[in-house]
Structure 1
Amino acid sequence: MPKITPLDITSTGERRILDFRRRGWKDVLVAGKYQYRRTREALAAHQHKDMLEIVYCSKGEQVYEVGGRLHKVKGGECFVTHPGEWHGTGTYPEGKGELYWIILRVPEKGNRFLQFENKSAQAWAQQLKQLPRHFKAPPRLKTLLDEVFTLFDQDRSAFNHIELQLALATVLQSVIKSAASRPTRKRSARLSQVDSYIRQHPDEWITLQQLADHTGLSLSRFKAWFKEEAGVTPLDYIMKFKIEHARQLLRKTAMPIAAIAFETGFQNAQYFATVFRKYMGMTPSVMRKQS
């Protein structure tokens, strides 16, 4: 059963969390950022009872589960969970990449929000409550978020407080505008073509040249197009498909792990186990025991 958990404020070498509450803030509570070079354990289902969370994935991709539905968030996209919603990453680990998040309280009537009050604060509340689940964001959002982290580390003067308020207001304004004008794009016919080809050859070691030829693009153009379209490199995309296919076989069949390795195109079971752990955060044998 999911649990209501306190806000995580633990920072590490690859993970930084800013706790605004320690400075007396009551609207924006925490902001975080991670740059993971390898996968971590799945994020357990949890709830922020009266808080809105905005996630921005700047690099890589991450799967989230909300209300039993899975959502794949790619580089350059935002994902929102509203107050009271149970959310986590399901059975998927926290993946490699770079990801930012902000957790805040939407202002109630009569409450201030950042430096705004009365009708202005309620205008913020209306816009934040209307944020959709998943949408594209402009590349400059990363720069705006990094500015918040830079300002947080500076002197705690009254003017620094104002700068932080304005920086956060700019971040949220960018998010709101993005939500209104940049819905997540529908998968292109060409990407669906590539995806279909990969799924039809799960036991083969597909080369990027094969995929480029299949789409009628040069190799260099294919790699650039694919990264822009899918948010990850084609090699990473192929690997993630193979590992997810292997995960399903581990959960739903009694096939030996070595056989699953060959079924997903790996000629060496040890290398398969190494790659599987890199993407899933655990070995195939541990995954099978948990199924």
Structure 2
Amino acid sequence: MLNQTKKRKVFHLPSLGYPRFVEFGHYHYRKVEPTLEAHQHQDVVEICFCIRGQQYYELGEHLLKLRGNDILIVPPNQNHSSGVYPEDIGELYWLQIHINHVKGQLCHLPTVQSEFLISALQDKAGGIFKGALVLKSHLQKLIGQLESEQTTLTQLTTNQLLIQLLLETLELSQTTQIVVPSERVKIIDEFIAANLHRIIYVDELAELVNFSTAYFKSWFKQHFGAPPKAYINRLKIERAKEELLKNNTITEVAYNLGFSTSQYFATTFKKFTGMSPKVFRMRVEKP
């Protein structure tokens, strides 16, 4: 393992006996982190599995936004970063694979199969597509296997998980995905947008779509990529950015968006932006 903290783990796969792979990593951020600086991976394709929350990626000239359950394949030798955005609150896994055959065979597969998988991944690079719940299970199991003693059985299981991840990622990338917002999603979105000026309660949202509160929380997270409170607060902070630039005081902005105190507003603002409302205003207004 390269490094491990409560919020971030990174494994160096070749040193653990998995040739052709580079890194496998996972983060779970409960507050924003500094921006991801522009970089590229030489002859390495990277798969990003966004489990929850959201994350911006500046890929070449394109700005992409990942939400919970989205997958992005970053092409090799392609500059990418989070642009002007911080690494956002949420959970994400990444897996890097070397495209050069001299680095070995993928999961000890025959050469033809190994090269087929890598070529297919490169063909799907550069765009976002939807994932599936089974991927999260595979990713969690992979963490457990890599943290275990690397016995023959552990390595066999890990190779199987890696192949499953790649095959299911490719299958998902080839599925025609026409995302049409459901009527319930539109009802919730419109209600939240119209009520950002006040406290929005989860049980009232659940009543709008005739769900129990417990089921609604699970449904909401699946469709919006974040729990209700986090999703609503993120929208409030985006609205707050606009209001702060209209010369409203911080206290006025806080109360106009339903925050009980300006301190709670400032704490929430910093959680989602990495800076206080005052610093945000100074940076934007700076000549």
**In which range does the TM-score fall when normalised by the shorter chain?**
0.7 to 0.9
1:63-97 deviation digits (Å, cap 9, x = unpaired): 33334544332333322211233322233333333
- Aligned twin of 2:13: 20
Instruction: Output one character per residue of 1:113-161: Cα deviation in whole Å (capped at 9) or x when no partner.
Output: 3312432222112211122522222222122222322332334455644
Give the equivalent residue in structure 2 for 1:207.
201
Displacement, 1:241?
A: 0.3
Q: Distance in 1 between matches of 2:230 and 2:115?
A: 43
Counterpart secondary structure, 1:114 = helix
Query: 1:196 and 2:190 equivalent?
Result: yes
The partner residue of 1:60 within 53, 58, 82 is 53
Tell me how far apart the structure 2 counterparts of residues 43 and 146 of structure 1 sit (CA, whole Å): 24
C-alpha deviation, 1:183, in angstroms: 3.2
Match of 2:279 among 262, 280, 286: 286
Taking the aligned partners of 2:205 and 2:81, their CA distance within structure 1 comes to: 33
Q: Percent identity?
A: 28
Q: Which has the larger displacement, 153-162 or 35-44? A: 153-162
Seen in structure 2, the aligned counterparts of structure 1 residues 37 and 55 have a Cα distance that, compared at 3 Å, is: same
Q: Is structure 2 residue 173 aligned with structure 1 residue 179?
A: yes
* Cα contact 2:20–2:104 (8 A) shared by 1: no
Query: Structure 1: which 5+ runs fail to align?
Result: 1-7
- Matched with 1:86 is 79
Q: TM-score, normalised on structure 2? A: 0.83
Deviations 1:223-264 (A, max 9, x none): 4432232122222211110012213444x4443322322332
Identify if the C-alpha distance between structure 1 residues 143 and 216 changes in structure 2 by more than 3 Å, giving closer, same or farther. closer
Cα distance in 2 for partners of 1:244, 1:65 equals 19
Equivalent position to 1:102, from 84, 87, 95: 95
1:242 aligns with 2:236: yes
Judged with a 3 Å threshold, the aligned counterparts in structure 2 of structure 1 residues 184 and 284 are, in CA distance, closer, same or farther, namely farther
Give the letter for the 1:243 counterpart.
Answer: I
What TM-score do you get using the length of structure 1 for normalisation?
0.82
Cα offset for 1:15? Answer: 1.1
2: CA distance between counterparts of 1:10 and 1:253? 44
CA contact (8 A) 1:110 1:118 kept: no
Q: CA RMSD in A?
A: 2.9
Separation in 2, partners of 1:89, 1:157: 38
List gaps (5 residues or longer) in structure 2.
none
CA distance in 2, matches of 1:118, 1:57: 30
Say whether the 8 Å CA contact 2:184–2:209 is kept in structure 1: no
**1:122 corresponds to:** 115
Deviations 1:166-213 (A, max 9, x none): 321122112112222373733334323322332233323333344345
Alignment of 1:134-283 (within 5 A): 134-157=128-151, 160-181=154-175, 183=177, 185-213=179-207, 215-220=208-213, 222-250=216-244, 252-283=245-276
Whole-angstrom CA distance in 1 between matches of 2:18 and 2:43: 15
Asked if 1:40 is matched to 2:29, the reply is no
Residues 123 and 109 of structure 1: CA distance in aligned 2, closer, same or farther (over 3 Å): farther
What is the aligned length?
Answer: 282
Q: What displacement does 1:279 show?
A: 2.0
